[in-house]
Amino acid sequence: MASIKQIQVTFDCAEPERLARFWCEVLGYAVPPPPEGFATWADVDRALPPERQGSAFACVDPSGVGPRLFFQRVPEGKVVKNRLHIDVRVGTGLVGEARLAALEAECARLIPLGAVRGRLLLADDDNESCLLMQDIEGNEFCLD
């Protein structure tokens, strides 16, 4: 049996390019170059039938290590809590006040981008502190 080497994380959303660009800022990801024959992604979009324009966008980890993120427009809005979420690992290896400071600093960087701060979960016997957040379309993620 072959082992899987890569994954793609797909977001259902209302505004694919806007959400992709938000996550580029959060994770340091980049928009890949447009396909051969197109100067820009806007040119690619204009070449699509009107009903498909603006329907999808993607971003990638420039180092090639992280998964590709794909954003696809869907007609329905978000209604309930995500069953899957992204943990943005900003406090790895840190504990106590140093970890809290790293979480708060990253939260302060993301709020001007449109992120919404949620609840701070303080360390307990099993877990280190993390900060619950929402992206610009209300999808939950954690600063961990």
Domain boundaries defined on the chain: 8-73, 86-143
pTM score of the predicted model: 0.90
Check residue 77 and give its pLDDT.
85
**Average pLDDT taken over every residue of the chain:** 94
pLDDT band at 103 (very low <50, low <70, confident <90, very high): very high
DSSP conformation class of 51: G
Q: Mention every residue, 6+ apart, whose C-beta is less than 8 A from residue 34.
A: 40, 41, 43, 44
Torsion of CA 14, 15, 18, 23, to 10 degrees: 40
Range with the poorest average pLDDT among 13-27, 65-79, 106-120: 65-79
List pLDDT tens digits, range 9-67: 999 999 999 999 999 999 999 999 999 999 999 999 999 999 999 999 999 999 999 99
Going 127 to 129 to 135 to 138, the CA torsion angle's sign is positive
